[in-house]
A and B are shown apart, each in its own frame.
Chain A
Amino acid sequence: MSTDSVIKIKNLDFSYGGPKILENIEIDIQRNEFIGMVGPNGSGKTTLLKIIMGVLTPDKGSVKVLGNPPSQSVKEIGYMPQFAPFSRDFPISVEETVLMGRLGKTSSIGFFNKADKRAAEKSMNDVEILDLRKRVIGSLSGGQLQRVLIARALTCEPQIMILDEPTANVDMKVEKDIFDLLKQLNEKITIIVVTHDIGFISQYIHRVACINRTLICHPTSELTGETIENMYGSHMHMVHHHHEDEKK
């Protein structure tokens, strides 16, 4: 496993003009890490992701993604949003949706070409939705749609994948399938996943980044009921689980 840094944030502050949303954030994410990002609603998780993707600019501090400013590296990030921001009755097939991931990599004029279609086919195959390719998105179940969004992010051929609560709207079985899939993808891609379900994902991730205006990173082995309670500021029900071997 190589140890080069893919996301390096130093001494970062951010506000939307009022009180600080993020304060003194420091994190160094290595290639092929699998990071879980947790924190209560409104703690600044999505804001931090937007800074990493160059959508927002911090008030203070430095952000490097793959050694460059975020706006230059955004094409190397595959992003899966928390909510599908599009209308479910949009007349578009699974394949066309996944092809959107090729934007920014393919030629800027004309239609999608053969190479684009091959790339989309590969990611649909990876997430096991190739048989759905001709289906219109409005006819998919919640779990199928999550897979389409992952496939779209994969089609960007990203070095980093950022997933904002990828399993918020699916049942436990689908959640497990999706994280098993992410674990496979993690062999080649650095993954950051925002989640509320820290107990469940600790068997998949290497480190947890706990955000609540400030950021504290824990290796998953250090996670206890107390750390999680401090994070959310209220009592949480803990379920025991096993950790698989850590990479470090």
Chain B
Amino acid sequence: MSSFIDAVSSQAFMQNAIIGGILASVACGVVGSYVVVKRIGYLAGGIAHSVLGGMGIAYYLGRPPIEGALVAALVFAVVLGWVSLKMQEQEDTVIGALWAGGMAVGILFISQTPGYNVDLMSFLFGNILMISSDDLLWIAALDTLILVIVFLFYKQFLALSFDEEFARLRGIPVERFYLLFLSLVALTVVILIQIVGLILVIALLTLPAAVSGHYVRSLNLMMLLATVLGVFFTTGGLALSYQPDLPPGPTIILLAGAFYLVSLVITRFWKRA
């Protein structure tokens, strides 16, 4: 543990990793809470995984993968949102097809890219230890954008996630706000890919909010506690993985997953008692 603290105080990459984790936790606490209460984890998973298509194409074209991720995430958010609004009977099948199709496109483009394919693993599993100062600026900018939109349309997002039918009857353009909301999910996914990679994104997006939801009585508090938990999971995962030299992404996820399971058991037992 003390060597971890030494590393944090002396190594720039460790400081970046900690700051990256904190910044990502803001987006994941706020947007993840909506994903959990609206129960669209599967849809969010579809957005997260299909993003590999965009990253692969960007990689093939010699552009930074994050640019491809951003474009692909927003496109898939709108496409999947449209599917879930218009094709409710087959929603899960279509999401599954786009989920796998997006990944397949990504793998094909990566395989056709000349040179050594070193980055594939870091796309899939992320590497919080590789976060640069530029990445931090990106994440901070996306965080700011997400927070501004959530503050502006707090009421509409609350109404949409709580009772869509009533929101529609009050004259709220529900479809438009749903697509806007899925775009926020897309931005959050892009942020979180930097931390844990796209395979594990969905866990970091939902687990802090789900644990938080066990204890709080309002959506605002749920977001706040989820953010604090996110900081705890990312920093704690980094610390645990440092000494035995484990990959930090999976360590972060396992820490969050363990907390979720323990919390689930405790709250179940508590409610019954």
Contacts and interface: CB of A to CB of B under 8 A. Distances in A.
Contacts of A100: 158-159, 162-163, 166-167, 170
A151 interface: no
Contacts of B221: 91
A26 B123 CA distance: 63
Contacts of B172: 103-104
A136 interface: yes
B151 interface: yes
Nearest to A156: B170
B41 to A, nearest CB: 14
A101 B167 CA distance: 9
Contact of B162 (A86, A101, A136): A86
Contact of A110 (B39, B152, B165): B152
A91 B37 contact: yes
Given A92-B219, A112-B155, A103 B170 contact: yes
B154 A74 contact: no
Interface string B155-177: 11011011111111111100000
Interface stretch (A61-69, A77-85, A166-174, A188-196): A77-85
Contacts of A136: 217-218
B216 interface: yes
Contacts of A77: 169
Interface string A48-88: 00000101000000000000000000110101010001110
A53 B169 contact: yes
Contacts of B170: 74-75, 100-101, 103-104, 156
Interface in B1-47: 37, 39
A93 B219 CA distance: 9
A53 B168 CA distance: 10
Given A96-B158, A103-B159, A91 B166 contact: no
B219 A75 contact: no
A32 B95 CA distance: 49
Contacts of B155: 103, 106, 108, 110-112
Interface residues of A, number: 30
Contacts of B37: 87, 90-91
A93 B218 contact: yes
A178 to B, nearest CB: 19
A74 B213 contact: no
Contacts of A156: 170
B169 A110 contact: no
Interface in B206-259: 213, 216-219, 221-222
Interface in A30-55: 53, 55
B138 interface: no
A73 to B, nearest CB: 11
A89 B271 CA distance: 13
A86 B216 CA distance: 18
A79 B216 CA distance: 29
Nearest to A99: B155
A113 to B, nearest CB: 10
A1 interface: no
Given A91-B219, A91-B222, A152 B154 contact: no
B145 to A, nearest CB: 16
Nearest to A101: B170
Most buried by A among B152, B166, B172: B166
B171 A75 contact: yes
Interface string B165-194: 111111110000000000000000000000
A109 B219 contact: no
23 contacts: A53-B169, A74-B169, A74-B170, A75-B171, A85-B164, A87-B39, A89-B213, A90-B162, A92-B218, A92-B219, A96-B158, A96-B218, A100-B158, A100-B159, A100-B166, A100-B167, A100-B170, A101-B170, A103-B171, A103-B172, A108-B156, A110-B155, A136-B218
Interface of A: 53, 55, 74-75, 77, 79, 81, 85-87, 89-93, 96-97, 100-101, 103-104, 106, 108-112, 136, 152, 156
Q: Across the A-B interface, give the 3 residue pairs with the lowest CB-CB distance, nearest first.
A: A103-B170, A104-B170, A104-B171
